[in-house]
Amino acid sequence: MKKATLISLLLIGSYSFSQSVNDYRSVIIPLKFDFTKTENQYRLATLSKFNLNKAGFDAYYTNQTIGSEFNNRCSLLYYDVVKEKSFLTTKLHVVFKDCNEKIIFQSVTGISKEKDFQLAYTEALNNAFVSVFALHHKYNESGIRNTQQVITTAAVPVAITTKSSTVSDSLDINNPNLVYAQPIANGFQLVDSSPKVVMKVFKTSNTNCYIAIKGNAQGVLIAKDNRWFFEYYQNDILISEKIEVKF
Quickly list H helices, 38-140.
Answer: 44-54, 117-133
Residues 101 and 214 in one domain: no
| 120: CATH | 3.40.50
Predicted pLDDT at 27: 94
Residues 91 and 200 in one domain: no
Q: Both 172 and 116 in a single domain?
A: no
Q: What is the pTM of this model?
A: 0.52
Under 8 Å between Cβ of 190 and 197: yes
Residues 133 and 34 placed together within one structural domain of the fold? yes
Confirm whether 102 is domain-assigned.
yes
| Pick from 24, 47, 69: nearest CA to 119 | 47
Is 149 inside any structural domain?
A: no
Across-strand partners of 91?
84, 111
Residue 178 has pLDDT above 90, yes or no: no
Which of 144, 175, 201 is where one domain is finished? 144
Cis? peptide before 195, omega within 30° of 0? yes
- Cα–Cα dist 99/70, whole Å: 12
pLDDT of amino acid 142: 65
Domain end: 107, 122, 144, which one?
144
Asked if residue 244 lies in contact with residue 229, where contact means CB atoms within 8 angstroms, the answer is no
Q: Are 209 and 105 in a shared domain?
A: no
Look at residue 150 in the predicted model and tell me its pLDDT. 37
pLDDT tens digit sequence for 41-70 = 999 999 999 999 999 999 999 888 776 666
Identify whether residues 116 and 62 lie together within a single domain: yes
CB 202 within 8 A of CB 210: yes
Nearest to 211 by CA among 242, 236, 232, 192: 232
- Residue that terminates a domain, selected from 117, 144, 171: 144
The answer for residues whose C-beta is within 8 angstroms of residue 181's C-beta and 6 or more apart is 188, 189, 190, 201, 245, 246, 247
**Is 138 within a domain?**
yes
Alpha carbons 168 and 159: distance in angstroms, whole number: 19
CB 166 within 8 A of CB 150: no
Q: Which amino acid is at 125?
A: L
Range of the domain at 44: 12-144
- Same domain as 120, residue 21: yes
Task: Say if residue 31 is in the same domain as residue 119.
Answer: yes
Residues 41 and 93 grouped into a single domain:
yes
